[in-house]
Amino acid sequence: MPLDSFLGEILFQALLEGLLARFFYGSGWVALKVLSGGRLRMAPFREMRELKLKKNRPSPPEHPPRLTAKFVCLVGMGAWAVTGLGIYFAIRAR
């Protein structure tokens, strides 16, 4: 039994982490595009996976400066946190 729960936990964690990362990246992408009027350049989501594989190897910049995928995910998390707090305080004020 312990092996089954361990494997299940690893698979569930990987699946949930992947889904949440994509969800927050999408939310951050939309929020940044709206707030900047579409002017900001953002790295694609696949860059986040590539960064895990590279393990901090420095490489010369190939593209003009742009926001990293991790930062876009962070903005998405922040957008949902602000939305949740706004809803909480709106309901509490009634």
**Each residue's pLDDT tens digit, 21-68:** 999 999 999 999 999 998 988 988 888 766 555 555 666 666 677 889
Q: How confident is the model at residue 1 (pLDDT cuts 50, 70, 90)?
A: very low
SS3 49: helix
pLDDT at 15 (0 to 100): 85
Calculate the alpha carbon distances from 20 to 30, 54, 79 in Å.
15, 22, 14
Answer whether residue 8 shows pLDDT above 90. Answer: no
Distance CA 55, CA 47 (A): 12
- Cβ–Cβ under 8 Å, residues 31 and 76: yes
Q: Residue type for 62, please? A: E
